[in-house]
Chains A and B, each alone.
Chain A
Amino acid sequence: MQYLLLIYHNEATTPDPDSPEMAAGRKAYADFTTEIRESAHFKGGNALLPSTHATSVRVRDGKTLLTDGPFAETAEQLAGYYLIEAANLDDAIAIGARIPGAKWGSIEVRPVRAMATLVA
């Protein structure tokens, strides 16, 4: 089964880019990503630019409406993701718990809909 691991954290608490915490965080992610890439689980993943750089798109009554920022104000914002292959939810959770961001933010573990079910 495939799972999308969505990494959320409170951007207001992001450490200074030059700070030692930030450097430690970058290293933790680099190590984790190397490890997961080498395992059979990795299907994809990326860090995202901050939610201030997001644009929300809605089409209503034929009109395209754009808003600056993410679709909703939330306490924690989406920062990145990994797409993984795992035998079951417990395995996916175990991987999610190892993502560095799990320690200071939240990881949402969302099952990917199998393609067979999409094609009616």
Chain B
Amino acid sequence: MGPELSQRIERIYTDERDRILATLIGLLRDFDLAEEAMQEAFAAALAQWGGSGIPENPRAWIVSAARHKALDRLRRDTAFRAKFPDLQRSIQEADAKESEGNPPVPETDDTIADDRLRLIFTCCHPALATEAQVALTLRTLCGLTTGEIARVFLVPPQTMAQRLVRVQRKITEAGIPYEVPPEASLPSRVDSVLVTIYLIFTAGYTASAGEFLLKTDLCTEAIRLGRLLASLVPQQSEPRALLALMLFHDSRRNARTDSEGDIVLLEDQDRALWNHAAIQEGVELLAGVLHDALRNGTAGSRYSIEAQIASIHATSATPQDTNWPRIAALYAELRELAPSPVVELNEAVAIAMAEGPEAGLERLAALERSGQLANYHLLPAAQARLLDQLERWPEAIDHYTRALALARNEPERRFLNARLDRARQLNSQSPSYSSNR
């Protein structure tokens, strides 16, 4: 086989893998089996297409070949047959349907029957624990290996393998249907998917600041899934809001750390390094979302508010151009909608930028008293920053020290240590220092 042909087959693999796998999962009802059958089918393609040429519909060919590989195995292997008692029947039913000219998988309701959509909704069914949803989505839609997913969750590979088996078993045995939810339950089901996609994005975001590297970039995967969902469920605006939010966050990936791997804060980043094409796309998506909300008379959602905040940062040419009062107001709105101590923390920081450090410190003190963020390093870190600005060095030192104790990885520790050293230095130079000795 010539290099050109194998390149084309590789291209087909890259482009069609997702849809083929989703179709096979629907048919065979087992994720590992579907993957195995798909690999064997592609091997067959490599062997046969050199002679017969690339078929007109490569995807259908591969799906068909995979089906027959699975059927073959059923005939040969009795242990396999016992493990998948309904498999033979469902394959034969699908074969019969196809020979009648019907597609291999039935349409449900009046929604588009893209198998990837079915797969996303099944993986993110609310009857599954959120962690299980994330693990399964990473496995089936993002193609991560069990070992890679184990690293994301910081568990041994064996543990992750067991979790994946358990969740697949629940799907089959508890009767979670492999279908796109009906229109009426679409909003809440879409919500479940968005939570999972955003968790994947957050994992990727933290990973890029941490110590472990994955072959697959999780932020890129999350954005890809977000795009897929937005295109397959166009009538819902939430997916577009989340996509905009992720694009804004990701646009700063090349500016967030310096050449040493150290953290560069938003206000210190070189904005020329931001991905302005991604920002532009986010701006357009967000405009569409807000326009829909206005037209439908619906209130802002969690993702659209967060996206609006991110948009203000992303479209400010310099830190000084940032509309902090507007950001503070948006955080207040977010707090009403989806209250959380982290939202309050961010609101306090925005208030500090809009009204001065004392105003921010007041809010942060209240947050500290509530005890909700007792183990979150960004609370004392935020307090330390504001105390820095007010040149209240002893207090700043105290808070940087507390933040350091809670820091989660090396880059965070290095950053806080640098600020701590600076505060100590400035403290020893200050006039009140010697009088306090």
B176 proximal to A (CB < 8 A): yes
A92 proximal to B (CB < 8 A): yes
B105-131 vs A, CB cutoff 8 Å, 1 = contact: the mask equals 000000000000000000001010000
B297 proximal to A (CB < 8 A): no
List chain B residues, Cβ under 8 A from A92.
175
Interface residues of A (CB under 8 A from B): 1, 3, 86-90, 92-93, 111, 116
In the complex, the answer to whether B173 meets A111 with C-beta atoms within 8 Å is yes
CB-CB nearest in chain B for A116: B85
Query: How many of B's residues come within 8 Å of A, CB to CB?
Result: 10
B289-325 vs A, CB cutoff 8 Å, 1 = contact: the mask equals 0000000000000000000000000000000000000
In the complex, the answer to whether A88 meets B173 with C-beta atoms within 8 Å is no
Most buried by A among B85, B175, B185: B175
In the complex, the answer to whether B127 meets A88 with C-beta atoms within 8 Å is no
CB-CB nearest in chain B for A114: B173
Q: How far is the CB of A97 from chain B (nearest CB, A)?
A: 11
In the complex, the answer to whether A111 meets B127 with C-beta atoms within 8 Å is no
Q: How far is the CA of A92 from the CA of B177 in the complex (A)?
A: 11
Interface of A is mostly: mixed
Q: How far is the CB of A101 from chain B (nearest CB, A)?
A: 19
Enumerate the 5 nearest inter-chain pairs by beta-carbon distance, A residue then B residue, closest first. A88-B177, A88-B175, A89-B175, A1-B175, A111-B174
CB-CB nearest in chain A for B178: A88
Q: How far is the CA of A84 from the CA of B181 in the complex (A)?
A: 21
List chain A residues, Cβ under 8 A from B174.
89, 111
Q: How far is the CA of A88 from the CA of B176 in the complex (A)?
A: 6
Q: How far is the CA of A87 from the CA of B127 in the complex (A)?
A: 16
B141-185 vs A, CB cutoff 8 Å, 1 = contact: the mask equals 000000000000000000000000000000001111100010001
In the complex, the answer to whether A90 meets B177 with C-beta atoms within 8 Å is yes
Most buried by B among A87, A90, A92, A93: A90
List chain B residues, Cβ under 8 A from A111.
173-175
List chain A residues, Cβ under 8 A from B173.
111
List chain A residues, Cβ under 8 A from B125.
89
Task: Please tell me which one of the listed residues A1, A93, A116 contacts residue B127 in the complex, with CB atoms under 8 A apart.
Answer: A93
List chain A residues, Cβ under 8 A from B127.
89, 93
Q: How far is the CB of A83 from chain B (nearest CB, A)?
A: 15
CB-CB nearest in chain B for A111: B174
Within 8 A of A (CB), among B61-104: 85
Q: How far is the CB of B132 from chain A (nearest CB, A)?
A: 15
Within 8 A of A (CB), among B178-205: 181, 185
Q: How far is the CA of A1 from the CA of B171 in the complex (A)?
A: 13
Q: How far is the CA of A22 from the CA of B46 in the complex (A)?
A: 70
List chain B residues, Cβ under 8 A from A86.
175
CB-CB nearest in chain B for A3: B175
Q: How far is the CA of A90 from the CA of B109 in the complex (A)?
A: 15
List chain A residues, Cβ under 8 A from B176.
88-90
Q: How far is the CA of A21 from the CA of B163 in the complex (A)?
A: 44
CB-CB nearest in chain A for B85: A116
List chain A residues, Cβ under 8 A from B181.
90
Within 8 A of A (CB), among B391-429: none
CB-CB nearest in chain B for A92: B175
List chain A residues, Cβ under 8 A from B175.
1, 3, 86-89, 92, 111
Pairs across A and B, CB under 8 Å, 6 listed = A88-B177, A89-B174, A89-B176, A90-B181, A90-B185, A92-B175
Q: How far is the CB of B128 from chain A (nearest CB, A)?
A: 10
Q: How far is the CB of B191 from chain A (nearest CB, A)?
A: 16
Q: How far is the CB of B79 from chain A (nearest CB, A)?
A: 14
Q: How far is the CA of A86 from the CA of B185 in the complex (A)?
A: 18
Q: How far is the CB of B415 from chain A (nearest CB, A)?
A: 44
Q: How far is the CA of A54 from the CA of B127 in the complex (A)?
A: 30
